[in-house]
Chains A and B, each alone.
Chain A
Amino acid sequence: MEAGTSRSLFEKLLYLGIATFFLWPFIQLYSVKAIPIFDSDTHLRASVALENLMEEALCRPYEFSIADSKFVPIKGYEDLNLMGKIDISPHPTYDSNVLIKAQVMWGSFPLQKNLSLEYIGARTKS
C-alpha cells in the first residue's frame, strides 16, 4: 500500500467487525455476571429484588397467559432504575405444571444486566 493513503471504508468496517468479534463475548460476560470490584452491591440488591418478586408471584393465585408481560419499575429501587417482570405460562412439557419466571433488568444497552429465576408450580389453583 502507498504510504500516505488512508484506509478505505471497507477496511475500516472490517476492523470494526474484528474488534466487535473479539469484544462481544466480554460484553456478554458483563451482562450475565457481576464483576465483583465494580458492581457487587448493585448485583446483590438486584438479586434480593428478584427473590422478592418471585415470592410475590408465588403468593398470588396463578393468572394464566401473562407471558410476555412488560418490564415495570420496582418500588424502592428507583436509584438503580431496576425493572422487573413476571411471566407465568403453562409448562411446555408437563400439562399439570406452570412455569413462573421472574426477571429483573437494569442498566442500558449494551451494558445491560439481567437476572432471572424460574419456578415450577403445580396447577392446582386455576
Chain B
Amino acid sequence: MIHKKNGITLWEILLFTVFLAVSIGASVFFFFINSTDMQKAQQKYAWVKNVNSVLDDVSLEIGNAVILSHPFNGSSKECFYRGASDHSTLEPESFEEGFIFSEDLLYYISKEPTSTNVTRFGKHRNPILVNCKDGIFNRKSANQIEIYFKMNSPNGTETDREFRRIINLRNK
C-alpha cells in the first residue's frame, strides 16, 4: 500500500518538537550553570570542603595522640595532647601540643617549658581556621572527644553552619 506523501507528517513534527525541547532545555541548563547562584554554590562548596579538610587533619592528629591531657572531662575551648613522634616514642613530657579556640579563631600551638609557639600545623598556616564561633572541645567519654563550632560562609550565602566532629581516641 503506497501513500502519497504530502507536506510534513506527524512523526516529523513530533521529532522536530523533541529536538527543539532538548535544545531549549540545554541552553537553559547552560545559563543556569553560568549563573551567579551557581557560582556562589560552588564557592560555598569549596569553603566547606576546605574547612572539612582542616578538620580531617585535626581529627587525625587528636585521634592518634598518645595522651589527651585536656579536657579531661566536660568541655573546653582548648585541647592539649602529647603527640607521637616519628619513631613510636614519646615526646618529653614537657612538650605539649594543642588546639585552642580564641577570639573566633582556631590556633594550633605547641608548648615547651620556656615558651608557647604558634607554628604551622602540617600544611595549614596559623590560625588554621578563621571566623569560627562558639568553638568547643567536648570530652564525651574516656575515649571520645567532639569538636564543635559554627561558621558563616565568606560570601554570605550561609550563616551559622554547624561543624561537628567526633573523634575516637585510638590510644586510650
Interface size class of A (residues with CB under 8 A): 10 to 19
Partner of A48, one of B1, B38, B52, B168: B52
Pair B166/A56 contact, Cβ less than 8 Å: yes
Nearest chain B CB to A35 CB, angstrom units: 12
Interface bits B158-170 vs A (CB < 8 Å: 1, else 0): 0000111111101
Contacts of B164 in A (CB 8 A): 48, 52, 76
Residue of B nearest to A34 (CB): B45
Give the A-B contact count at a CB cut-off of 8 A. 48
Interface size class of B (residues with CB under 8 A): 20 to 34
Pair A44/B168 contact, Cβ less than 8 Å: no
Pair B48/A56 contact, Cβ less than 8 Å: no
CB proximity to B under 8 Å, residues A4-59: 36-37, 40-41, 44, 48, 51-52, 55-56, 58-59
Pair A44/B166 contact, Cβ less than 8 Å: no
Asked whether any CB of chain A lies closer than 8 Å to the CB of B70, the reply is no
| Chain B contact residues, majority secondary structure | mixed
Asked whether any CB of chain B lies closer than 8 Å to the CB of A3, the reply is yes
Q: With A and B bound together, what is the CA distance between A37 and B44 in angstroms?
A: 12
Contacts of A36 in B (CB 8 A): 42, 45
Q: With A and B bound together, what is the CA distance between A40 and B42 in angstroms?
A: 9
Q: With A and B bound together, what is the CA distance between A3 and B141 in angstroms?
A: 76
Interface bits B135-171 vs A (CB < 8 Å: 1, else 0): 0000001011000000000000000001111111010
Pair A55/B33 contact, Cβ less than 8 Å: no
| Chain A contact residues, majority secondary structure | helix
Residue of A nearest to B141 (CB): A59
Residue of A nearest to B1 (CB): A2
Q: With A and B bound together, what is the CA distance between A56 and B45 in angstroms?
A: 26
Partner of A51, one of B1, B3, B44, B165: B165
Asked whether any CB of chain A lies closer than 8 Å to the CB of B120, the reply is no
Pair A41/B44 contact, Cβ less than 8 Å: yes
Pair B143/A59 contact, Cβ less than 8 Å: yes
CB proximity to B under 8 Å, residues A62-92: 76
Pair A44/B48 contact, Cβ less than 8 Å: yes
CB proximity to B under 8 Å, residues A94-122: none
Q: Would you list the 8 A-B pairs with minimal beta carbon distance, nearest first?
A: A58-B168, A55-B168, A52-B166, A40-B45, A55-B166, A59-B144, A59-B168, A59-B143
Interface residue ranges, A against B (CB under 8 Å): 2-3, 36-37, 40-41, 44, 48, 51-52, 55-56, 58-59, 76
